[in-house]
Structure 1
Amino acid sequence: MPMSDYVASLRARIGTDFLLLPGVTAVIRDRQNFLLARHRHSGLWSLIGGGVEPGEEPAESLAREVLEETGARVRIRGIVGVYAGEPMMVTYPNGDQVGYVTTAYDCGLTSDATPDGDELLEIAWFPRDAIPTLPRRDWIDRVIGDVRDDL
């Protein structure tokens, strides 16, 4: 998905300087298996998510992002946690610097998922213990570690 109109309007004023943005992250799982996506811009595996748009509820943003990137619908079971700081800072290939404050939601799929081919190169299910062996965004380890089995 291209940059949102909101972020584009900010970028027109500040260029590639650092932006702190609200985000959402889908921790899609089936028991101890987690759905991860390999992202085009980095080639790394991570969770699926994106930015909260002005006027959107975070849960609406989550559903929109998952649908846009995978064509799938999710059922939210609860909030895993809220994450920010250095691990959530990214410099994109075009030089844009972003820091996210993301709310991670524990989710289950209610329809089939397929990578969009634009933002996501592939998606796959991984057991919890296989995730540390993947080329990945390190911050997902903390999020996945915080997932409670009773959610």
Structure 2
Amino acid sequence: MATPDFILALRKKIGSDPLWLSGVTAVVIRDDEVLLAKRSDNGTWTAVTGIIDPGEQPADAAAREVLEETGIVAVPERLAMVHVTDPVVYDNGDQTQYLDLVFRCAWHSGVPHPADGENIAIEWFPLDDLPAMSDDMCRRIAAAVSGEPAAQYVFSQSLPGGA
């Protein structure tokens, strides 16, 4: 499903005005490989991303998006990063921006395939030989594969008190 029904209902009321949404990035790891999807809308490689449904737990959303898009069962292991994406303007003029929660997920079962039409390819890539991706997506994957036990928080400016 490309656009959730609740967003379509909101768009009927607000048109293409900016819409603040919560999203997830699921970085699925299997041994020394990461699962990536080649998007059907722009042909770029990314980790699995998606929108959190109203009332849905973020980790559940990460696992759901992986299953819906790739046919893979993945288990969220930890929150790896919290950040805000750059504003997005879609081809139809809709404007959004996302609070994105990046989860490191472990592969549990399944053979990857484009399961819902949002992607044209789903493949495992060695972590040391990734395809070309945006800097933002590379940061998300790096946060997920880092050995840090706590999530990374992205700051756009210095903290009060000079920190």
Taking structure 2 as the reference length, what is the TM-score of the superposition? 0.81
Deviations 1:125-150 (A, max 9, x none): 2223333x51x233111112223247
Identity rate, percent: 37
Moved more, 69-78 or 89-98: 89-98
Distance 1:78 1:102 in 2: 14
What does residue 161 of structure 2 align with? Answer: none
RMSD between superposed Cα atoms in Å: 1.8
d(CA) in 1 for partners of 2:90, 2:127 = 27
Counterparts of 1:102 and 1:126, CA distance in 2: 23
1:114 partner SS: coil
Deviates more, 1:45-54 or 1:64-73: 64-73
Question: How many positions carry a matched residue from both structures?
Answer: 147
CA drift at 1:99: 1.0
Partner of 1:90: 88
Residue in 2 aligned with 1:138?
A: 135
- 1:1-150 alignment runs, 5 A limit: 1-86=1-86, 89-112=87-110, 113-116=112-115, 118-131=117-130, 133-134=131-132, 136-146=133-143, 147-149=145-147
Name the CA distance, whole Å, in 2 between partners of 1:92 and 1:41. Answer: 10
Q: CA deviation at 1:79?
A: 1.2
Q: Secondary structure of the residue that 1:62 maps to in structure 2?
A: helix
Cα shift at 1:30: 2.1
Gaps spanning 5+ residues in structure 2: where?
A: 150-163
Contact 1:41/1:92, CA 8 A, preserved across alignment: no
SS state at 1:144 partner: helix
Letter in 2 for 1:43: G
Partners in 1 of 2:11 and 2:20 — Cα distance?
A: 12
> Residue by residue, what CA displacement relative to the aligned partner does 1:25-83 show, whole Å, maximum 9, x if unpaired?
11111233211100111111111020011111111111211111112211121111112
Post-superposition shift, 1:97?
A: 1.6
- Seen in structure 2, the aligned counterparts of structure 1 residues 6 and 117 have a Cα distance that, compared at 3 Å, is closer
User: Which ranges of structure 1 fall in alignment gaps of 5 or more residues?
Assistant: none
What is the TM-score with the length of structure 1 in the denominator? 0.87
